[in-house]
Structure 1
């Protein structure tokens, strides 16, 4: 005869798995590190160069301490060796540099940024990395709008760096031009519309990836996408518009590649993709008069062609090894002070990654960086288009997270022809960080580098997007 029992046979209920406090704090620190890189010159404009330098150095030292403390699983044989070669050549250039002080200062920035990129890539899983990038971008996008609102509503006048309200000799000197309500270009916390535009485009990409990955609070993500699109429009950066068009082409191609069933079906897509790239690039160059006039720019890319010619003249004097590393150009160094002046301000870059490299590190530096970039694009492309597979199972679903590296590579490639951004700040950090992450964890949620943080949280591979 069955007897009713007050003691159920099933296991007692348990609380859901939660992240440990120290891991939450670690991820929060990574968000701050990414925010430092993405906000760029905002720290210099707000606090001055000395305080900004102290913050950057102190943040890197803390990251190194956390790295040793957490001891994440790193496959040292799979380091980004092309990055190591490029950085090594840049360090070696101090021995022949024509501007040794500028080389030493900017090498410190290069080493700090590289260290932070490796740190973030080592301690976070792919899912956590995308979440951290999204959080940092929310701060940059949100503060940029709040900053412009504060200037237009309360200050009601353009302001200079250091929150100084005074008349500048040229509008290029302003941190904010008070253009939010008059229809002009806005500059955000970076103080430069050409820096705000690419970050806003990156934000649209990251928030969209989070949305398609099934992240919570979808209505808020849509709001962030709209806000980022608004900032991209108001920044009115021709380079960012070109990058956005390239991102659409690359994304469409990747999605078509994912639909193919056999390797041979990809060949026509590759041919079409190459044809679009060649025709599009040629059309952009030969039709630049019409295109840039429509965008309110001059046909010489707002004076860039003149800068390129001047830089090439000096670079050709030392074509093999260059004049010495300096990214950016240090404006108070005698070698750069007054060398190229735009609107009364000493120019701090060649506005072309490849010409800048040729000047600083010669043909050797151009080749090293070219191989580095090609390796990143190659790995990022197949990371996006190939179905995840590490055993006999061949029908695993694609992850939208794998789109991030190849789309970031697209932005940086387009930028490299009109800016030197891929060589410093967030451009260089993302190039190193994502390339390192792909080598360490070529599959989402699989491998020691991915599983270490999951084990730290008391779970294995089940993670929330």
Structure 2
């Protein structure tokens, strides 16, 4: 006779549970703003806590499949450790501890999914989740901007759909909607190319994501689209290059990227004017210059980990006072980390994303399936967006960074030989359906 404990264990390690858990986590992560606005911060925190406990139980029953060395990237663990250690010098220990718990919570959820789902299953789950959220976003925008013609204030929806935007959907701001729409575009195209979904679903999904990205009127969407387009072209070139010439092609592309970035830096003012983002960039430049003044006061350790600035602690309140503004972030993930965790945190954050991008790029270069292109393209999106927003330090952005870093580490890491990426199997704990 099967004991209740055995039945629970079988349920927790089942494929159905893994898929349901993944969809629930993704729904909560990407729908965090709407959930908080419709309920409360405490309710959302309870949801994340319960999901973390359930994730721990799932990993426990799958413990024989886990390797302690491969649980999480070393750079991620070091970044989390530094954020926690900043309790020793932060200006408010309770707020830093609360911010660290949020940071760890989303990271743990990403780690759990990274170990119970493979790359294709992850892409499918993210595609399904974002399809629903984008449809709902368009629905509430139609309700607010066309049918009722009134803002929906508790969701921060301004009702500008009939005016051609900007719109926010269920994500709170137009920039966040644009960011999610670009992630969705990458995911939907990969789904289509891998034949994971049929064309009657894939094509409308791509059109919807592109339409919402356009209506978001986010100044960063164009930059993200260009970056992803260039990344896609470069990766396609490498993938189709003969193996004997692939290394040379990689180096040539690297030189082209450096030259392009240099040219963009030199001609940044004409480019900004062409994009019509002069005032937006000017606001960011003023903020970043003021942040650097405070970084100079505590350059190595920073002021302590806070994540967003909504808690109103020093030095964030003073920076806003000096600028006569109400910024909730540094509008740049790298500047935010530099301010809060100093040079050490900045280097660890850059290492986390940089190593993940290199690893995933190398794997995608040699793997036949196009699904491996998803990770580097999402990381390119996260890296570019981090120059204009701090999304990659909290919520869905941080979750995606950890998930991609874990996926890249499973595919190619210092723990396995250099030739592992060219063999037939990439280590993964995901079970095929």
Q: Alpha carbons of 1:370 and 1:342: their partners in 2 closer, same or farther (altered >3 Å)?
A: same
Determine helix, strand or coil for the equivalent of 2:65.
coil
What displacement does 1:339 show?
3.9
Are 1:77 and 2:47 an aligned pair?
Answer: no
Are 1:303 and 2:303 an aligned pair?
Answer: no
Using the alignment, how far apart are the partners of 1:256 and 1:198 within structure 2? 26
Matches within 5 A, 1:64-103: 64-71=56-63, 73-78=65-70, 79-103=72-96
Are 1:188 and 2:169 an aligned pair?
Answer: yes
Are 1:58 and 2:66 an aligned pair?
Answer: no
Work out whether residues 141 and 161 of structure 2, in 8 Å CA contact, stay in contact via their aligned partners in 1. yes
Matches within 5 A, 1:8-23: 22-23=14-15
What displacement does 1:286 show?
4.1
Q: In the alignment, what sits opposite 2:221?
A: 240
Are 1:411 and 2:390 an aligned pair?
Answer: no
Using the alignment, how far apart are the partners of 1:118 and 1:198 within structure 2? 22
Work out whether residues 152 and 180 of structure 1, in 8 Å CA contact, stay in contact via their aligned partners in 2. yes
User: Which of 260, 267, 273 is residue 248 of structure 2 equivalent to?
Assistant: 267
What displacement does 1:83 show?
0.5
Q: How many aligned residue pairs are there?
A: 413
What displacement does 1:280 show?
3.2
Matches within 5 A, 1:213-292: 213-271=194-252, 273-292=253-272
Work out whether residues 209 and 400 of structure 1, in 8 Å CA contact, stay in contact via their aligned partners in 2. yes
Q: In the alignment, what sits opposite 2:6?
A: none
What displacement does 1:266 show?
3.7
Are 1:144 and 2:150 an aligned pair?
Answer: no
Cα offsets for 1:378-432 (capped at 9, x unmatched): 1111111024xxxxxxxxxx10110011101110111121111122222221221
Question: Which ranges in structure 2 are unaligned for 5 or more consecutive residues?
Answer: 1-10, 413-420
User: Which of 115, 120, 123 is residue 108 of structure 2 equivalent to?
Assistant: 115
Using the alignment, how far apart are the partners of 2:163 and 2:193 within structure 1? 35
What displacement does 1:20 show?
11
Work out whether residues 382 and 392 of structure 2, in 8 Å CA contact, stay in contact via their aligned partners in 1. yes
Q: In the alignment, what sits opposite 1:130?
A: 123
Determine helix, strand or coil for the equivalent of 1:361.
helix
* Greater CA drift, 61-70 or 188-197: 61-70
Using the alignment, how far apart are the partners of 2:369 and 2:428 within structure 1? 18
Work out whether residues 72 and 449 of structure 1, in 8 Å CA contact, stay in contact via their aligned partners in 2. no
Question: Could you say what the CA RMSD is over the residues aligned between the two structures, in angstroms?
Answer: 2.6
What displacement does 1:324 show?
0.4
What displacement does 1:207 show?
0.7
Using the alignment, how far apart are the partners of 1:154 and 1:341 within structure 2? 40
Using the alignment, how far apart are the partners of 1:337 and 1:154 within structure 2? 40
Using the alignment, how far apart are the partners of 1:425 and 1:105 within structure 2? 14
Cα offsets for 1:332-377 (capped at 9, x unmatched): 4465346416998631111112211111111111111122222111
Are 1:45 and 2:37 an aligned pair?
Answer: yes
Q: In the alignment, what sits opposite 2:372?
A: 402
Work out whether residues 293 and 299 of structure 1, in 8 Å CA contact, stay in contact via their aligned partners in 2. no
Q: In the alignment, what sits opposite 1:360?
A: 340
Work out whether residues 72 and 123 of structure 1, in 8 Å CA contact, stay in contact via their aligned partners in 2. no
Determine helix, strand or coil for the equivalent of 1:178.
coil
Q: In the alignment, what sits opposite 1:446?
A: 425
What displacement does 1:447 show?
5.6
Matches within 5 A, 1:144-163: 144-161=137-154
Using the alignment, how far apart are the partners of 1:193 and 1:338 within structure 2? 27
User: Which of 355, 359, 362 is residue 379 of structure 1 equivalent to?
Assistant: 359
Using the alignment, how far apart are the partners of 2:271 and 2:322 within structure 1? 23
Q: In the alignment, what sits opposite 1:346?
A: 326
Greater fraction of residues in helix: 2
Work out whether residues 201 and 228 of structure 1, in 8 Å CA contact, stay in contact via their aligned partners in 2. yes
Using the alignment, how far apart are the partners of 1:339 and 1:43 within structure 2? 30
TM-score (norm 1): 0.82
What displacement does 1:38 show?
2.3
Question: Which ranges in structure 1 are unaligned for 5 or more consecutive residues?
Answer: 1-18, 164-174, 388-397, 458-465
Are 1:324 and 2:317 an aligned pair?
Answer: no
Using the alignment, how far apart are the partners of 1:297 and 1:262 within structure 2? 42
Work out whether residues 329 and 336 of structure 2, in 8 Å CA contact, stay in contact via their aligned partners in 1. yes
What displacement does 1:115 show?
0.5
Bigger radius of gyration: 1
Work out whether residues 72 and 122 of structure 1, in 8 Å CA contact, stay in contact via their aligned partners in 2. no
TM-score (norm 2): 0.88
